[in-house]
Amino acid sequence: MDIDFDCTMCGKCCHNLRLPLTVPEAITWLRRGHQTQLFLEAIPWPEEPPEDNLIAAHKRRRSFPASSGSLPIRVVAVIVAAFDGPCPNLKEDMRCGVYGSRPLVCRIYPAEINPFIPLNPEQKACPPEAWTQATTPLLRQGNIVDAQIAALIAESRNTDAADVDAKAALCEALGIASVALSNEGFVVYTPDPSALLSALESAQAAITSVRPQSWQFVSNRSATVDALRSVDAVASERSAWETESAEFLGFFPDEVIGNSGSNA
Ligand code: SF4
Ligand code: SF4
CA distances from 207 to 41, 189, 210, 261 (A): 24, 25, 10, 33
Q: Which ligand is nearest to the CA of 260?
A: 1
The string of pLDDT tens digits covering residues 48-86 is: 999 999 999 999 999 999 999 999 999 999 999 988 899
Least confident piece of the model among 85-94, 97-106, 157-166, 252-261 = 252-261
What one-character DSSP code corresponds to residue 258? S
pLDDT, position 257: 39
Q: Average pLDDT, whole number, for the chain?
A: 87
- 197 alpha carbon – ligand 1 mean position (Å): 20
Nearest-CA residue for atom 7 of ligand 2: 126
Please report, as a single letter, which amino acid is at residue 36.
Answer: T
Domains held by the chain: number: 1
Cα 75 vs. chain centroid, distance in angstroms? Answer: 12
The string of pLDDT tens digits covering residues 242-259 is: 434 333 344 443 333 343
- 130 alpha carbon – ligand 2 mean position (Å): 8
- 59 alpha carbon – ligand 1 mean position (Å): 27
Nearest-CA residue for atom 8 of ligand 2: 10
pLDDT, position 210: 63
Q: Which ligand is nearest to the CA of 105?
A: 1
- 62 alpha carbon – ligand 1 mean position (Å): 24
The string of pLDDT tens digits covering residues 10-47 is: 999 999 888 999 999 999 999 999 989 999 999 999 99
Mean pLDDT, residues 195-202 taken together: 92
Pocket of ligand 1 (CB under 6 A): 14, 19, 87, 89-90, 96, 98, 102-103, 106, 260-262
Best mutation site among 5, 6, 107, 109 for ligand 2 pocket (most ligand atoms within 8 Å of CB)? 109
More confident residue, 16 or 213: 16
Mean pLDDT, residues 183-203 taken together: 89
Mean pLDDT, residues 91-105 taken together: 93
262 within a domain of the structure (yes/no): no
Evaluate whether 257 touches 78 at the Cβ level (below 8 Å): yes
Pocket lining: 189 vs ligand 2, CB cutoff 6 Å: no
16 within a domain of the structure (yes/no): yes
- The C-alpha atoms of residue 161 and residue 60 are separated, in whole angstroms, by 9
264 within a domain of the structure (yes/no): no
The string of pLDDT tens digits covering residues 146-179 is: 999 999 999 999 999 999 999 999 998 888 999 9
Percent of the chain whose pLDDT exceeds 70: 88
261 within a domain of the structure (yes/no): no
263 within a domain of the structure (yes/no): no
242 within a domain of the structure (yes/no): yes
**Atom number in ligand 2 closest to CA 109:** 1
Domain of residue 202, residue span: 3-256
pLDDT, position 240: 54
Pocket lining: 130 vs ligand 2, CB cutoff 6 Å: yes
pLDDT at 213 over 70: yes
For the beta carbon of residue 40, count every other beta carbon within 10 angstroms: 22
CA angle in degrees (0–180, nearest 5) for 78-234-188? 25
- 107 alpha carbon – ligand 1 mean position (Å): 9
- The C-alpha atoms of residue 41 and residue 200 are separated, in whole angstroms, by 19
pLDDT, position 245: 34
Evaluate whether 24 touches 204 at the Cβ level (below 8 Å): yes
CA distances from 22 to 29, 136, 177, 193 (A): 10, 29, 21, 16
What one-character DSSP code corresponds to residue 34? -
197 within a domain of the structure (yes/no): yes
pLDDT at 239 over 80: no
85 within a domain of the structure (yes/no): yes
Pocket lining: 125 vs ligand 2, CB cutoff 6 Å: yes
